[in-house]
């Protein structure tokens, strides 16, 4: 995977850095795995704006992703690596031996024609889904379940990965992409390898219009608002807003908002870095 810097033939292309899409093998999605997406534009059922800075954007169709990897023991062949407009990672189309087709999150290094499988007694190779109890310690993993059978919820974005650190009893210790170290039940599934498209962090949009294509409307800085609209608003001229805080008055930049009595606190061995 690589990135391309465009020639500055227009102001919007001067700083633009785009994905090379070297890993993509087709531009036609599998029709049977597409679903429509209804856009809300940040409005509720009454048509009132309840979420700011949303609206517009290019029309998309959802790719139905198999996060559960519950076809245990049935090998599948990677038919293609595809772009997904709904996520930062690339996706892989699998053709199972029983004839079913499914999309999964593509791992970095996954190749067309490669065979992958999920289950307890499979080899710890890239793309294979295994319970944490069967994965060798120190392995780089992604697409991790938090509860057995729930489906992958952690380490799903482009280039992210976690590491299996230890196992004790029915729990496995995992170091997450945020830096947090926590316990997860050892019978939860995880996929071997890091998520694809690790160059995503190097991309530069180049112009404001690209944010509009992605469905993001312009965001107003709190410091230019009036006091009635935001705690950081008001003042004469270009007065600063004092300490950075949210619209509800909760301080930003380092203030911890996690509930001290949260039930899952006992599973977190080390908090994420500030």
CATH 1.20.210.10 is held by the domain 3-201: no
Percent of the chain topping pLDDT 70: 99
pLDDT of residue 1: 60
The Cα–Cα gap between 101 and 92 comes to 10
Mean pLDDT of 82-89: 97
Residues of each domain in the chain carrying CATH 4.10.950.10 = 225-274
Mean pLDDT of 95-108: 97
Q: Topology of 225-274 in CATH?
A: Ribosomal protein L2; domain 3 (4.10.950)
Res. 163: pLDDT tops 70: yes
274 or 94: which leads in pLDDT: 94
The Cα–Cα gap between 130 and 69 comes to 9
**Span of 78-82, 102-106, 245-249 with lowest mean pLDDT:** 245-249
The Cα–Cα gap between 55 and 133 comes to 44
238 or 156: which leads in pLDDT: 156
Mean pLDDT of 262-270: 96
Summarised one tens digit per residue, pLDDT across range 213-235 is: 999 999 999 999 999 999 999 99
Q: What does the longest C-alpha to C-alpha distance in the chain come to?
A: 70
pTM metric for this prediction: 0.93
Residues of each domain in the chain carrying CATH 2.40.50.140 = 3-201
Assess contact for 212 and 58: CB atoms under 8 A. Answer: no
The Cα–Cα gap between 38 and 31 comes to 18
pLDDT bucket at 242, cuts 50 / 70 / 90: confident
The Cα–Cα gap between 270 and 48 comes to 41
240 or 116: which leads in pLDDT: 116
pLDDT of residue 273: 80
Summarised one tens digit per residue, pLDDT across range 173-215 is: 999 999 999 999 999 999 999 999 999 999 999 999 999 999 9
**How many C-beta atoms lie closer than 10 Å to residue 24's C-beta?**
16
Percent of the chain topping pLDDT 90: 95
254 or 148: which leads in pLDDT: 148
What is the SS3 assignment for 193? coil
**Average per-residue pLDDT in the chain?**
95
């Amino acid at each position: 995977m690589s990135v391309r810097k465009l020639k500055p033939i227009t102001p919007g292309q001067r700083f633009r850095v785009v994905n090379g899409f070297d890993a993509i093998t087709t531009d036609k999605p599998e029709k049977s795995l597409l679903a429509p997406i209804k856009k809300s534009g940040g409005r509720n059922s009454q048509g009132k704006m309840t979420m700011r800075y949303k609206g517009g954007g290019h029309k998309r169709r959802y790719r139905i992703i198999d996060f559960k990897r519950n076809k245990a023991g049935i090998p599948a062949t990677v038919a293609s690596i595809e772009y997904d407009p709904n996520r930062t990672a690339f996706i892989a189309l699998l053709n199972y031996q029983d004839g079913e087709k499914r999309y999964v999150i593509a791992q970095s290094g996954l190749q067309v024609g490669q065979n992958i499988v999920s289950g307890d007694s499979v080899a710890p190779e890239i793309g294979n889904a295994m319970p944490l109890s069967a994965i060798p310690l120190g392995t780089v993993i992604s697409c991790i379940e938090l509860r057995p059978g729930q489906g992958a919820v952690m380490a799903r974005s482009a280039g992210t990965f976690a590491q299996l650190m230890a196992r004790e009893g029915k729990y496995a210790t995992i170091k997450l992409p945020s830096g947090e170290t926590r316990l997860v039940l050892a019978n939860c599934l995880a996929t071997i390898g890091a998520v694809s498209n690790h160059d995503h962090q190097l991309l530069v949009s180049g112009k404001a219009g690209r944010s509009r294509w992605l469905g993001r409307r312009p965001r107003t800085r709190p410091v230019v608002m009036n006091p009635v609209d935001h705690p950081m608003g008001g003042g004469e001229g270009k007065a600063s807003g004092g300490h950075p805080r949210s619209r509800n008055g909760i301080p930003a930049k380092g203030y911890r908002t996690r509930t001290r009595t949260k039930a899952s606190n006992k599973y977190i061995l080390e908090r994420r870095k500030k």
